[in-house]
Amino acid sequence: MSEHRAQVEELLADYRRSREQLASLQRELGGVTASESDPGRLVTATVGPRGTLTGLVIAEEAYRRYRPAELAEAIVRATASASVRALTAASEIMAPALPSGTDPQSLLLGTADLDEPELARPARQPVDEESYEDQNWVTR
């Protein structure tokens, strides 16, 4: 076997190992879930690895104990708390596979290579009342 052929074979083997590591990482991340309940255990939110709500259990008693706005707040708080836990677990899974200095949480959130000015919301431009070009009539 020529030296060139051996190098190609080695590169292909590295590629296959990397793909298997990525597939294994993806399987582990797919299994990440976290649940959190309100203090009275009347609301339980379950989220996936990126904090997406995947389950919500509301006890019958919650409808009697909470006003609608309070129930909504309990759901949001439980979901946010579960999201932090899921993101932490996902980050721990990803960290060994990332280059040193890479923040797994910012990578999962999609902000890894962005700085503060890029993350800031752009200021809304005033709408020219004479121009109807970029106006959204649905939200008015």
- How many domains does the chain contain in total? 1
- Tell me the pLDDT tens digit for each residue of 91-121: 888 888 888 888 888 888 777 777 777 767 7
CA angle 48, 77, 79 (to 5 degrees): 10
Predicted local confidence at residue 96, as pLDDT? 85
Whether 140 is in a domain gets the answer: no
Answer whether residue 87 is part of any domain.
yes
- Which residue in 26, 29, 82, 28 sits closest to 54, CA to CA? 82
> 57 near 82, Cβ under 8 Å?
no
Q: What is the pLDDT of residues 31-85, one digit of tens each?
A: 999 999 999 999 999 999 888 999 999 999 999 999 999 999 999 999 999 999 9
pLDDT at 128 over 60: no
Q: Is residue 2 in some structural domain?
A: no
Residue 71 in any domain: the answer is yes
Which of 53, 34, 36 lies closest to 44, judged by CA?
36
Q: pTM for the full model?
A: 0.67
Q: 70 lies in which domain range?
A: 32-96
| Domain-embedded: residue 6 | no
Q: How confident is the model at residue 21 (pLDDT cuts 50, 70, 90)?
A: confident
- The whole-angstrom separation of Cα 6 and Cα 58 is 61
Q: Give pLDDT, residue 136.
A: 62
pLDDT confidence of residue 116: 72
Q: 46: domain CATH number?
A: 3.30.1310.10
User: Is residue 43 in some structural domain?
Assistant: yes
Determine, yes or no, domain membership for 128. Answer: no
